[in-house]
Amino acid sequence: DVKVTQSSRYLVKRTGEKVFLECVQDMDHENMFWYRQDPGLGLRLIYFSYDVKMKEKGDIPEGYSVSREKKERFSLILESASTNQTSMYLCASSWGANTGELFFGEGSRLTVL
């Protein structure tokens, strides 16, 4: 089975803190994604990566950055957390191109106070 592991299930941070969310997949997938999920808004793509050291902006990249130094690991960074970044963050991975079959991690629920 594909396993996508997110390092933290629940985090509470203060405004202005730097936040790291880490994601590791064990299936040698080329593609990795970071989404956030908010009630009534669905899943929105923050960033994605189709190869090591490659990254592309999604729909809502502002306030976020990412890092992919190894194929299996994709990190989401909030340089200075704000209250409007309180959300559920979901990492996903997939094979190849043009696929809608995404494998998700269990999610990281971030609260910014």
Sites of contact with other proteins (CB under 8 A) = 31, 33, 35, 40-43, 45, 48, 50, 56-59, 90, 97-102, 104-107
* Rounded least distance, CB 107 to other proteins, Å: 6
84 vs 98, beta carbon nearer other proteins? 98
> Smallest distance from the beta carbon of 45 to other proteins, in angstroms?
6
Q: 48 vs 75, which CB is nearer to other proteins?
A: 48
Residue with Cβ nearer other proteins (14 or 52): 52
Residue-wise DSSP of the chain: ---EEES-SEEEE-TT--EEEEEEESS--SEEEEEEEETTTEEEEEEEESSTT--EE-S--TT-EEEEEETTEEEEEESS--GGG-EEEEEEEESSSS----EE---EEEEE-
Query: C-beta of 34: minimal distance to other proteins in Å?
Result: 12
